[in-house]
Amino acid sequence: MTIHLPADNIIRESIVPRSGQILDGGGRTYLLLAGWDFIPIHIDRVECVTLRDMTIIAEQDDLGRLSGIITMLKSNRITLDNVRIIGSGDSGGTRHQTICWVQHCEDVTLDNCHFSMSPKNWNLWLAYTTNVSITGGHYSYGYYDGIKVGNDNVKLLIQNAKCHHNGRVTAGEGATGDGIDITHGASGGCDIIAVHCYSNDNGLTFKYAPWRDHTVTRDRIPVYGVNVVGGSYDNNGNGIFLQGFSGEPPAGADGSNCPFPMGINLRGTSANNNTNTGIVLGAGSFNVTDCLTYKNGLNGVDLSTDAKWCSVRNHRSIANRSANINQWGQYNSFYNCYCDGRDVITGNHDDLEKLPKISKMGINWQWKPSRGRAHGFIHHTYNEGSQSANGKPVHLPDRRWEPVD
């Protein structure tokens, strides 16, 4: 059954679809007038609902509680197809206004949706979901994140989407935003494929920040099975920021119950021309394979002191300003990597020796005798063209260095 939106294109009260209904916007634009204080489209405890072919433009709200312009709760088999929502953005609005809020739902499809301009919140919030598929579309100009993967999301797919200009500069201080933020949110498989994140504070972030809603349980959620394949994370603050642990526990929660992040994999991605670092590996065990970090303002790949048992394979780190690889962690290994401090990507390959040395260091390996065997290995790796520390990194024991022939 197809139902239509208001004929005068102004939404004045909540639209609450029933199971099996289709809301067809007919390609028209609908308005939320200043001072609106209701949930415009409220999908609650229903199944088999489709929204398609519509644009909603919101003026500033007067909401008294957190909700989305589209809010989905405890529903399944919900489809949004070619839905564009523009929040009130810099024109004002409360911190309660989110563009789309999805919680306790299953089998949700967002196809070619454009969500933008949340005034003081996220563009898309996901929590306690199973089988959410996001294909195409733009998630942009959010006050905070383009896509916020919050608590307990299982079998999440994000592909061919663009997440950009989040952490909106015009919103003023405090609007730190990521293209995609996985905050303790991928607890049973998350695939991010051919996604392009640019002009954000961070392109892609993973962190354990708040605990799971401690009114439900006080344990942190284990995060595993996250695969980032292809795509680009360019022209951000940091390209990919796998921060690991962060934040303080809520009152009454134990701060020592944190499962170590593992099974988080990057393959075939690029993180180039970021203001800070291309790929940051924080607290956790991460795998980086067939990736490129090029011309970042600080490091190409940065492994913190809490990065353990990481594997970096077939990596190309070129002309990053500080170090192409900055390694502070333990038990981390590098295989078949290529580090060059010169711009060998756009420079004349016949005159490599004449190219300026951009990187200060090729591989910066922080060595401490107290770690013993915890330093990891570098196998069959090329490290040349930097201003200092070419060849075998300083302080790395000979037995842990296997250079390229």
CA distances from 401 to 45, 291, 317, 331, 395 (A): 59, 21, 18, 14, 11
Q: What does the domain layout of the chain look like in residue ranges?
A: 2-403
Report the distance separating Cα 253 and Cα 171, nearest Å. Answer: 33
Segment 27-51, tens digit of pLDDT: 999 999 999 999 999 999 999 999 9
Amino acid in the structure at residue 28: R
pLDDT band for 218, please (50, 70, 90 cuts).
very low
Helices then strands, each counted (H, E), the chain: 0, 36
Dihedral over alpha carbons 320, 326, 331, 336 (to 10 degrees): 30
Segment 160-175, tens digit of pLDDT: 999 999 987 656 666 6
The whole-chain average pLDDT of the chain stands at 87
Report the distance separating Cα 396 and Cα 393, nearest Å. Answer: 6
Q: What was the pLDDT predicted at 258?
A: 57
CB 346 within 8 A of CB 322: no
Segment 319-364, tens digit of pLDDT: 999 999 999 888 899 999 999 999 999 887 778 788 999 999 999 8
- Bigger pLDDT: 127 or 299? 299
Q: CATH number for 2-403: choose from 3.40.720, 2.40.390, 2.60.120, 2.160.20.
A: 2.160.20
Report the distance separating Cα 25 and Cα 33, nearest Å. Answer: 18
Segment 103-138, tens digit of pLDDT: 999 999 999 999 999 988 899 999 989 999 999 999
Sign of CA dihedral 59, 56, 43, 82: negative
- Bigger pLDDT: 350 or 236? 236
pTM confidence score: 0.92
Q: What was the pLDDT predicted at 243?
A: 78
- Bigger pLDDT: 46 or 209? 46
Segment 62-81, tens digit of pLDDT: 988 888 999 999 999 999 99
pLDDT band for 153, please (50, 70, 90 cuts).
confident
* Core vs surface per residue 193-216: b (16+ CB within 10 A) or e: bebbbbbbbbbbbbbbbbbbebee
